[in-house]
Amino acid sequence: MDLDLYQYLFYLIILYVSVGIIYLFHFYKSSKTINLPPGNKGYPLIGETFDYVMNAKRGNPEKFVNDRTAKYSPDVFRTSLLGQDMAVFCGASAHKCLFSGTNKYIQAWWPPSMKKIMMHDSKNHSSVEESAKIRVILPRFLKIEALQPYIPVIDAMAKKHLETEWSPYKEVKVFPLVKKFTFGLACRLLASIEDPKDVAEITAPFDRVIAGLISVPINVPGTTYYRAVQAGKVVREIVMGLITKRKKELEMNINPDQMDVMTSMLHDDLDAVDICNKLGAFFVASFDTTSSAITFIIKSLAEYPHVYQRVYEEQMEILKAKKEGEPLNWEDVKKMKYTWCTASEVLRLYPPSIGAFREAKTDFSYGGYTIPKGWKIFWNAHTTHKNPKYFPDPEKFDPSRFEGSGPPPYTFVPFGGGPYMCPGKEYARLQILVFMHNIVTKFKWEKLIPNEKYEYIAAPFPVHDLPVSLEPIQT
Ligand code: HEM
């Protein structure tokens, strides 16, 4: 190392320490003037993101929150994540405050680091605008009435998927296969993409996009975040190609009746970049969530044979009442009550969403502290779902928690709540139930790695992809 490099490092350390002192001074000053939530903002720029990511990587994202609620305050604490100062809201009453305060003192907000991955720079709409548009477009397709005629399509795709990707093998890796199924469905619903080659092309960059969403947002070559930003560009190029193709088809009156989310946005005269941003967000929102949920359902059914047996009996009753080859319909789905209790218990223990963000629209108080206008807020389901106050013996897998009146309000929140509740909830529910029907009436399975670890990126996933051995069922 020569002297110039030592000097360079010396000045860099001085700069870093100075920024840190200014930063702490501002933190101290603002904490003195109003009663801000207690907490620690961590290091400049990085904040406490690294600590959050490391806990998530160990399969324990709730530790980040639990450590701080024990140290500072049970309902709300202050931190800095993804380059932003934020208040983290915890527990059922915090969820109630957030979900019922939407549009009064709280509004939608997405971290700029996430927007940079998912959206074209040229259309940097506010999160409030984007979220409002999403809530106009998606419910047209994803409300339960609109989805009911789609149940036979999901059923046919599940059957074909199991026939071609599972039945020929004695052992399979569950996670990549389930991803293939759920993403294939999303491609069909969102953009009528059915050719497996096109589906594979669009799937390829998504793992990198997802990996970067919750990472330290340093955009220099070699970082997870940089790779995600680059992969986001690839996704947008592919999606722009699809939009241009569909636009031309519509001008030439080719497949005028074909209906999907992309075509609907073209009919609404949204411009191509806008459509691309929204489709990208829909793909991201549906990429890992449902596949993670189904994967952990398969894991749990292998671990709890008595639960598998009850799900199997419920699904066989539905199957036996059907004629040969008759597809599932809405009436069948309504009968899948215990199956949904089981899926809910999985969503409780392994929530597929890392949570969501908001922005304070005005100053407001919560838990005895002031949240100033403009502050960012983060909530997640993990800690609440494992709080023994709401779920006695929280680590125990027990679908009966969801029978009868179920858990108290605001304690079970895998899809959020209030006006910003996940718009894909009903679609996710149908996919999960239809897939569960098909898999339990076709196979029994055993895990090949008894204590396989799992990690979180955005959603949880088993580190070895959950290999299982399959035993076909004769029906
Ligand atoms: C088991 C599966 C899923 C879970 C657990 C889940 C959970 C969530 C959660 C917790 C949020 C944040 C809500 C909030 O801000 O309070 C969300 C937002 C969202 N979800 Fe889902 N989701 C799932 C599947 C899907 C699917 C299949 C789609 C289909 C397109 C979807 C589309 C969206 C969109 C677009 C948003 C953002 C809405 C906004 O910011 O206004 N989700 N989801």
Pocket test for ligand 1, best of 353, 385, 413, 436 (most atoms within 8 A of CB): 353
User: Tell me, what's the pLDDT at 1?
Assistant: 45
2 belongs to a structural domain: no
- Selection from 173, 150, 172 nearest residue 434 by Cα: 150
From the CA of 418, how far away is ligand 1's center (Å)? 13
Binding residues for heme: 422
When mean pLDDT is compared across 20-29, 108-117, 249-258, 259-268, the lowest value belongs to 20-29
Give the whole-number percent of the chain exceeding pLDDT 90: 60
The pLDDT of residue 312: 98
pLDDT at 231 > cutoff 80 = yes
Please state the domain count of the chain. 1
Which among 105, 289, 258, 290 has a CA at the least distance from the CA of 191?
258
Name which residue leads in pLDDT, 18 or 346. 346
**Which residue's alpha carbon is at the smallest distance from atom 7 of ligand 1?**
415
pLDDT level of residue 133 (50, 70, 90 thresholds): confident
- pLDDT, averaged across the chain: 89
Q: Which of 80, 70, 78, 1 is nearest to 44 (CA)?
A: 80
CATH code assigned at 314: 1.10.630.10
Q: What would the mean pLDDT of 183-188 be, rounded to a whole number?
A: 92
Q: Please say if the pLDDT value at position 161 is more than 90.
A: yes
Helices 337-349 and 305-320 cross at an angle (nearest 10°) of 140
Least confident piece of the model among 115-129, 163-177, 263-277, 286-300: 115-129
The yes-or-no verdict on residue 232 having pLDDT over 70 is yes
* Residue 365: pLDDT over 80: yes
Distance from C-alpha of 246 to C-alpha of 184, rounded to nearest angstrom:
18
Predicted local confidence at residue 15, as pLDDT = 73
**In the structure encoding, which two tokens stand for residue 55, read together?**
């806990």
Q: Has residue 375 been placed in a domain?
A: no
Q: How large a percentage of the chain has pLDDT more than 70?
A: 93
Confidence of residue 32 (pLDDT cuts 50, 70, 90): low
Span 385-433, pLDDT tens digits: 999 999 999 999 999 999 999 999 999 999 999 888 999 999 999 999 9
* Residue 288: count of CB within 10 angstroms of its CB: 27
Q: How many angstroms from the chain centroid is the CA of residue 129?
A: 21
Pocket around ligand 1 at a 6 A CB cut-off: 108, 131, 134, 138, 281-282, 285-286, 289-290, 293, 352-353, 356, 414-416, 420-424, 427-428
Q: What would the two tokens of residue 319 be?
A: 């199957």
The Cβ-side half-sphere exposure at 420, using a 13 Å CA radius, reads 26
Range of the domain at 133: 127-349+429-472
Which DSSP string do the residues of 399-424 spell out, in sequence order? GGGGSTT-SPTTT--TT--GGGS-TT
| 80, 47 Cβ separation under 8 angstroms | yes
Length of the chain: 475
Residue range 192-223, pLDDT digits in tens: 888 888 888 888 898 899 888 888 888 999 99
Of 349, 384, 395, the C-alpha closest to 90 is: 384
ipTM above 0.90, yes or no: yes
Minimal-distance CA residue to ligand 1 atom 37: 422
How far away, in angstroms, is 290 Cα from ligand 1 center?
Answer: 10
Is the pLDDT at 3 greater than 60? The verdict is: no
The pTM score is 0.89
pLDDT recorded at residue 316: 98
Residue 273 maps to a domain: yes
Residues 6+ apart with CB under 8 A from 210: 228, 284, 287, 288, 457, 458
C-alpha to C-alpha distances, 200 to 39, 69, 137, 187, 258, nearest whole angstrom: 44, 43, 26, 10, 22
